[in-house]
Amino acid sequence: MIEIIKELCTGCGICTKGCPFGLIELKEKMVFIKEGCNLCGACVDKCKESAIKIKIEDVQYDTSCFSGVWVFIEQTESKLKGISLELLGEGRRLSDELKTSLTAVLFGERVKELAKTLITGGADEVLTCDYPNLAYYQDEIYTTLLAKLIFERRPEIVLIGATPIGRSLAPRIAARLRTGLTADCTELRIDEEKRLVQIRPAFGGNIMASIITKRRPQIATVRPRVMKPLPPDNQRKGRVIEIIEDLSSIRPKAKRLDFIKEYASGPGIEEANVIVSGGRGLKAAENFKLLEELARLLGGAVGASRAAVDSSWISHLHQVGQTGKTVSPKLYIACGISGAIQHIAGMRTSDCIVAINKDASAPIFDIATYGIVADLFEIVPLLIKEISKR
């Protein structure tokens, strides 16, 4: 399926350095591809003479040889990210509907212990790859390894979080495997032809696009906090398969020198169970201290509307909404936020929404579980006082 066009090949050898697996040999100005090529396409991109061609049409379009749903698991310092269990919950639902298996793909260092949690979270099978150079995410190593596993084992669906890592990894995988990718899905379903319908907002949330991928696998990224994890089932059984790979030949282009946490203390808004959010009604940066105090008492994090972020009262890391983060905490307290559609898009799935706003006609009250029509500078100190007492 990989062909060297002899008439075009100049024997320059650039492709030998471009192969992440070191599988290209140059002998007497002739290029040879060794056994084990996974058709990643890196050499095709490197060759300036277009002398390397990959013909994978037949494999890609024969959808019958693809089966199973895969979820790429994210973890940091051997702790699972919330998105991993959310995707497993959704993956379980899809694989039950397709009557196929659900596989969790877990890369990292000293992560084997996490496999049990992934099985109780819905996986039938966990593929683990446990090496020191997988300790943290690196584009080249993770892409090469995941693309290779997908190519060899052929799942029909691959779900990846729409997180900074997933947004870097998923397009690379899709490009290597010459398949499609639907980013930032908010809903997934299976149609009557057993295809994955990938639903995501388009045109600023004004329409919902339903997207079908013709090729396989069908790769989708899903925003954190949109899907719900399953309650852990300790009776659930599954198998753990350890993947042995030689990753030494993959040379990352970047090296991590230091790791600076996004949030100095407490949970980030993506992970927090309680979020106290402030908008333009806060009026000044220093007033966010009030919300920080309330969030601290509730063990939560501080969020913000774009208006507050654009006023430089708080950093963009805290922005909730269409151009910020999607959150779904147990409790969301919106203080001085009007409830614009772009803000609501990022928090509407919160379990309980409390809105504090002076204007009784503010749209935030349409989605609030509890609405307090009042001045936030009166209500928030009262809440702090009352909660401190308890």
Ligand X SMILES: Cc1cc2nc3c(=O)[nH]c(=O)nc-3n(C[C@H](O)[C@H](O)[C@H](O)COP(=O)(O)OP(=O)(O)OC[C@H]3O[C@@H](n4cnc5c(N)ncnc54)[C@H](O)[C@@H]3O)c2cc1C
- Given the complex with ligand X, which of 215 and 325 has the nearer CB atom? 325
Structure tokens at 357: 């706003």
Least Å from the CB of residue 323 to ligand X:
4
Quickly count: other Cβ atoms within 10 Å of residue 237's Cβ.
Answer: 8
Least Å from the CB of residue 185 to ligand X:
18
CB-CB contact of 206 with 91 (8 Å): no
- Contact stretch for ligand X (CB under 6 A) within 16-24, 51-59, 89-97, 276-284: 276-284
Q: Which helix (H) or strand (E) holds 222?
A: strand 218-222
Mask: binding to ligand X, 280-319, rule CB under 6 A, as x and -? xx-----------------------xxxx----------x
CB-CB contact of 94 with 129 (8 Å): no
Mask: binding to ligand X, 319-338, rule CB under 6 A, as x and -? xxxxxx-----------xxx
Q: Please state, in angstroms and rounded to a whole number, the distance separating the CA atoms of residues 340 and 91.
A: 32
- Given the complex with ligand X, which of 218 and 305 has the nearer CB atom? 305
CB-CB contact of 196 with 157 (8 Å): yes
- Given the complex with ligand X, which of 62 and 378 has the nearer CB atom? 378
Least Å from the CB of residue 339 to ligand X:
7
Least Å from the CB of residue 363 to ligand X:
8
Decide: is 377 part of the binding site for ligand X (CB under 6 A): yes
- Given the complex with ligand X, which of 220 and 320 has the nearer CB atom? 320
Least Å from the CB of residue 281 to ligand X:
3
- Given the complex with ligand X, which of 39 and 320 has the nearer CB atom? 320
CB-CB contact of 184 with 162 (8 Å): yes
Decide: is 276 part of the binding site for ligand X (CB under 6 A): no
Q: Please state, in angstroms and rounded to a whole number, the distance separating the CA atoms of residues 288 and 323.
A: 21
CB-CB contact of 339 with 306 (8 Å): no
Give the residue, chosen from 357, 365, 368, 371, that forms a contact with ligand X under the rule CB under 6 A.
Answer: 357
Least Å from the CB of residue 388 to ligand X:
21
Q: Please state, in angstroms and rounded to a whole number, the distance separating the CA atoms of residues 69 and 89.
A: 12
Number of residues that bind ligand X (CB under 6 A): 29
CB-CB contact of 276 with 295 (8 Å): yes
Q: What are phi and psi of 108, to 5 degrees?
A: 155, -170
Least Å from the CB of residue 54 to ligand X:
39
Query: Which DSSP symbol is given to 347?
Result: T
- Contact stretch for ligand X (CB under 6 A) within 167-175, 265-273, 284-292, 353-361: 353-361
Q: Please state, in angstroms and rounded to a whole number, the distance separating the CA atoms of residues 147 and 169.
A: 10
Q: Which residues contact 77 (CB under 8 A, 6 or more apart)?
A: none
- Given the complex with ligand X, which of 31 and 320 has the nearer CB atom? 320
Give the residue, chosen from 359, 382, 386, 388, that forms a contact with ligand X under the rule CB under 6 A.
Answer: 359
52-54 and 2-4 as β-strands: parallel, antiparallel, unpaired?
antiparallel
Decide: is 340 part of the binding site for ligand X (CB under 6 A): yes
Structure tokens at 94: 């899809």
Quickly count: other Cβ atoms within 10 Å of residue 99's Cβ.
Answer: 8
The residue written with tokens 């694989």 in the block is 95
Least Å from the CB of residue 379 to ligand X:
8
- Give the residue among 103, 122, 139, 138 at the shortest CA–CA distance from 243: 103
**Using CA of residue 377, residue 382, residue 388, residue 390, what is the dihedral sign?**
negative
- Contact stretch for ligand X (CB under 6 A) within 19-27, 67-75, 238-246, 354-362: 354-362
Least Å from the CB of residue 355 to ligand X:
9
- Given the complex with ligand X, which of 230 and 373 has the nearer CB atom? 373
CB-CB contact of 355 with 376 (8 Å): no
Give the residue, chosen from 146, 362, 368, 383, that forms a contact with ligand X under the rule CB under 6 A.
Answer: 362
Mask: binding to ligand X, 200-239, rule CB under 6 A, as x and -? ----x-----------------------------------
Contacting positions for ligand X (CB under 6 A): 204, 279-281, 305-308, 319-324, 336-338, 340, 342-343, 346, 356-359, 362, 375-377
